[in-house]
Structure 1
Amino acid sequence: MMSVAIHGAAPESGPPGAVEPVTLRVSGAKPVRLRGHKLTEGHSRAAGCIAWHEVEIWQLENSREIAVALRTRRPGGEAADLHRAELFPDLAEALDWLEGFDPVADLTVDFDAGDRRLSAVEVALRAAALRGRAEVVTREWRALLGEVLFVLDAEAPA
């Protein structure tokens, strides 16, 4: 069972369009600090999934610049999660980046295909299982991305 949750533009801590100081976490690097308002956020998670994603899209104060926070969540706690934050000159470039994101790039392989203790059949079975889990992650990412794009399009001025 897959679930996708999208939240609209109103930040939880203030009225719609309120400018907030924000710190976006980045794995292995300094955080990105900005002032802006959240355009949308969302997350998805399929039952038993090996990874799921969370995304936040921010418009910087008095600017067309966009910040995207993308987290790849994995079971096993905070240490297993991967955090990205990117800045873009406008929303179109941010959305292009999100559309080009490979949701399975951060998945970990739980076996070594070169391990001589594993038979070729076992390697093939594990590889097939991994492909199946990767397909679930890809489907749920696509569902999340579709919802984010829909919300942003619905909120765009006509």
Structure 2
Amino acid sequence: MVSVAILDQAGTAGPPAPREADTAIRPVTLRVSGAKPVRLRGRLLTGGHSRATGCIAWHEVEVWQIAGSREVAVALRTHRPDGDAADVHRAELFPDLAEALDWLEAFDPLADLSVDFDASDRRLSGVEVALRAAALRGRAEVVTREWRALLGEVLFVLDADTPA
């Protein structure tokens, strides 16, 4: 089962915060794996996370409007509960919301996943490799499905906030 939650201004799961709360501009530090963090002042447009029970990875997204400009920052975290794999943090700056959303739509949710077996290992039979590959495909489909659900919710919230 896929679970998607959109975060309110306090960072708790629930329905989108009222428009009045969206005006809160605050300093923000967005984490980046292997690089310096991105620091900005802005307001949270929307954020959320997806998570399926027993999933090999899930994602968290925050979309920030930078104070005094049209620029938008996106923070994206791929959480990998496997003890051997660290979470992957991304933060990107965009000249406007449209480009940020294009980037999110083009993001490959499987990019940060690792394969838990070596198909060239001669100790594994062809049948075992095929079974492990099929299981991995199934787990990857869950990650993709939950990412698409989260992305759909984020796009819906941002579209609802955009004047017609």
TM-score, normalised with respect to structure 2:
0.91
Distance (Å, rounded) in 2 between the aligned partners of 1:22 and 1:103:
24
2:112 counterpart letter in structure 1: D
In structure 2, the partner of 1:154 is 160
In structure 2, the partner of 1:55 is 61
Q: Which of residues 23, 28, 31 is equivalent to 1:25? A: 31
Distance (Å, rounded) in 1 between the aligned partners of 2:122 and 2:155:
46
Aligned residues: 156
Q: How far does the alpha carbon of each residue in 1:91-135 deviate from its partner, in whole angstroms, 9 at most, with x for none?
A: 000000000000011111000001000011101110110000000
- How high is the sequence identity, in percent, across the aligned residues? 79
- Give 3-state SS (helix, strand or coil) of 1:148's partner: helix
- Give 3-state SS (helix, strand or coil) of 2:120's partner: coil
- Give 3-state SS (helix, strand or coil) of 1:133's partner: helix
In structure 2, the partner of 1:12 is 10
Asked if 1:100 corresponds to 2:100, the answer is no
Q: How far does the alpha carbon of each residue in 1:2-61 deviate from its partner, in whole angstroms, 9 at most, with x for none?
A: 1000135xx229943111100000000000000000000000001110000000000000
Q: How far does the alpha carbon of each residue in 1:49-96 deviate from its partner, in whole angstroms, 9 at most, with x for none?
A: 000000000000000000000000011469621000000000000000
Distance (Å, rounded) in 1 between the aligned partners of 2:83 and 2:24:
32
User: Cα offset for 1:157?
Assistant: 1.6
